[in-house]
Amino acid sequence: MTTEQDLINFWKTGAADDLATAETLYQNRKNVPALFFCHLALEKGLKAYHVKAIKEQPLPIHDLLHLAKTSNLPLTQEQESLLKEATTFNISARYDNIKLAFHQKATNEYTKKYFGACRDFLLWLQPKI
């Protein structure tokens, strides 16, 4: 039987793995997939928090701000903005008809900013899980 702690560990491990993948991609200037993996890392970190806070499996959704709000995670305005922007990485990096615009948006400077912000958010979230 899967325990609450098993679920938390599952999501936390996934978040750490995806952040490591994002970092490797970022270092190799693969900006679009790096940002996509940042989204995955945030999503899994928030799902770990959800299990800890709400004591149930999170919904199978990808909207980061919605995940945070349904978990009653107190956020600053800056953190809410980050989660809104990072949610777009999921769609923008996945669908070919949107990828071109995202490739143009995902400059080295933009990717550096959001990779750092996602990493910092996960570091902030970690002790709460």
* pLDDT tens per residue, range 52-67: 999 999 989 999 999 9
| Dihedral angle computed from the Cα positions of residues 65, 73, 129 and 5, in that order, rounded to the nearest 10 degrees | -80
pTM for the predicted model, two decimal places:
0.95
> Any idea where the domains of the chain sit in the sequence?
4-128
Mean predicted confidence (pLDDT) in 112-122: 98
Q: Write the CATH number of the domain with boundaries 4-128.
A: 1.20.120.330
CA dist list (Å): 74 to 3, 19, 29, 90:
25, 22, 33, 23
Residue with tokens 């958010």: 121
Task: Say what the pLDDT of residue 29 is.
Answer: 97
Helix (H, G, I), strand (E, B) or coil at 129: coil
